[in-house]
A and B are shown apart, each in its own frame.
Chain A
Amino acid sequence: MDHRFQRVVARTHEQRPARLRLIGQLLGQLTEEHLYLPTPPSAALYASAHQLLYQARIAAMRRDHDGVAEVAGLIRRLPELPAPREGVEFLLVPASACTWQHGEQYASDVPVLDPPKATRSWLGPEQSAELQAAVDLLADVGMLEWVNASCGVVVWTTRSPLRGTSISYTLRSLEGTIVTDWPDDPVRLAENLLHEATHTWLNEAVRVLGESLQGPDLFSPWKQRMRPALGIAHSGAAFTNVAHFLHRVLESGAGSHDARIYARRRLSYELDQLELASSAIREAYALIRDSDLAGLLTDHFDQLHGTRAAFAI
């Protein structure tokens, strides 16, 4: 893996204990419960603490005593968070293992994991095999580190067919948490994990490195509207990663027949979009002051050249 990626990840992880202590102090002020703080903190704990802070803030704004009591109960149960499965840093849990907050801040619902529910054996043999296949695929193409660097909790909502629309999202305040449906194929499941992991990784990196990406709004071909430079940098990073992933899947010969049809079509589409966004992405990356982050993202984007020719797309 690129040494600049490793350095950025090291810097983000270094600040996690201090950030958790601060979250613990704030939650303690409201609930009088002590946040469980092992050293080093697990990725799942890091993600869960951010969820709890969000829930606590919503409860306080609503003057909801029961909501605060619920947060206190969840804090007490944090030591029950299970270890992740081998090879990954994140816990993958169903939506039913979470309480859901409908905060006015977000368009999307916010999950808050209930630790004991994450320990239940809810993953059937078929899904377990699909998850393992997705993780193996990411490892085989050298992209699992993007997911492991940032993801602590992955919440899956519903199953979606390979040929259907797949929905996933991240929330900037909830570092380390991803919400995704469960596409009925390891290639698309891996794509969703990687796409959202890139967002949560970049959110944490931008915050820790003190980047603001102040500049004029730029046109996004994905959203078909002008967006702040940070949004363009996010789209550029996430879709560049997805394009690299699909390219490497096709190159390696992995995936089912239908998944490869999907990968080819999707790669073609994303390469078109990335080309349309090319100058906006470069402009957004030029606003990043940290040389490791800017260099990594720019080089990763530049390395896509030749992908279209290689697959005659």
Chain B
Amino acid sequence: MQDKHAMDTKFADFIAAVQASGLEEPTSTAAHSSAVSPAMWDEIQDEQSKQAK
């Protein structure tokens, strides 16, 4: 039980130390998806073939 208590204290101390260090930045994910829809591809290629004629 004592070991468990010691480990719990260690975990809590670590979390507090990380918070105090300033290393824990505000969280965010900058997700990005890039797509050109199939319809746009068809449109672009139609334009290109017209230009080529």
Chain A residues engaging chain B, CB cutoff 8 angstroms:
19, 22-23, 26, 29-30, 53, 56-57, 60-61, 63, 65, 105-108, 163-173, 188, 191-192, 195-196, 199, 207, 231, 234, 238, 261-262, 264-266, 269
Chain A interface helix/strand/loop/mixed: helix
Contact of B29 among A60, A107, A163 (CB under 8 A): A107
11 example contacts (A-B, Cβ-Cβ < 8 A) are as follows: A23-B23, A57-B24, A63-B8, A106-B27, A107-B31, A170-B30, A172-B27, A261-B44, A261-B45, A264-B44, A265-B44
Q: How far is the CB of B14 from the nearest CB of chain A, in Å? A: 4
Measured between alpha carbons, how far is A254 from B40 in the docked complex, in Å? 22
Which residues of chain B are within 8 angstroms of A238 by Cβ–Cβ distance?
30, 32
Q: How many residues of B contact A (CB 8 A)?
A: 31
Contact of B11 among A19, A22, A53, A60 (CB under 8 A): A60
Chain B residues engaging chain A, CB cutoff 8 angstroms:
7-8, 10-15, 17-18, 21, 23-36, 38, 40-41, 44-45, 48
Q: How many A-B residue pairs have CB under 8 A?
A: 102
Which residues of chain A are within 8 angstroms of B36 by Cβ–Cβ distance?
163, 262, 265-266, 269
Which residues of chain A are within 8 angstroms of B10 by Cβ–Cβ distance?
29-30
Measured between alpha carbons, how far is A26 from B8 in the docked complex, in Å? 16
Which of A53, A60, A163 neighbours the largest number of chain B CB atoms within 10 Å of its CB? A60
Task: Known contacts A22-B23, A207-B25, A261-B48; decide if A195 and B32 are in contact (CB<8 Å).
Answer: yes
Closest to A270 in B: B34
Which residues of chain B are within 8 angstroms of A57 by Cβ–Cβ distance?
14-15, 18, 24
Measured between alpha carbons, how far is A196 from B31 in the docked complex, in Å? 9
Query: In the bound complex, do residue B32 and residue A53 qualify as a contact, i.e. CB atoms below 8 Å apart?
Result: no
Query: In the bound complex, do residue B35 and residue A169 qualify as a contact, i.e. CB atoms below 8 Å apart?
Result: no
Closest to B45 in A: A261
Measured between alpha carbons, how far is A187 from B41 in the docked complex, in Å? 16
Which residues of chain A are within 8 angstroms of B14 by Cβ–Cβ distance?
26, 29-30, 56-57, 60
Measured between alpha carbons, how far is A266 from B24 in the docked complex, in Å? 36
Which residues of chain A are within 8 angstroms of B23 by Cβ–Cβ distance?
19, 22-23, 26, 53, 173
Measured between alpha carbons, how far is A247 from B13 in the docked complex, in Å? 51
Measured between alpha carbons, how far is A107 from B21 in the docked complex, in Å? 24
Which of B27, B33, B34 neighbours the largest number of chain A CB atoms within 10 Å of its CB? B34
Which residues of chain B are within 8 angstroms of A231 by Cβ–Cβ distance?
28
Given A57-B15, A196-B30, A238-B32; 15 other pairs, CB 8 A cutoff: A19-B23, A26-B18, A29-B17, A57-B24, A60-B11, A60-B12, A63-B7, A65-B7, A107-B31, A169-B29, A169-B31, A173-B25, A191-B34, A207-B25, A266-B34
Q: How far is the CB of A203 from the nearest CB of chain B, in Å? A: 8
Closest to A264 in B: B44
Measured between alpha carbons, how far is A170 from B24 in the docked complex, in Å? 16
Contact of A108 among B7, B25, B31 (CB under 8 A): B31
Measured between alpha carbons, how far is A165 from B37 in the docked complex, in Å? 8
Query: In the bound complex, do residue A196 and residue B32 qualify as a contact, i.e. CB atoms below 8 Å apart?
Result: yes
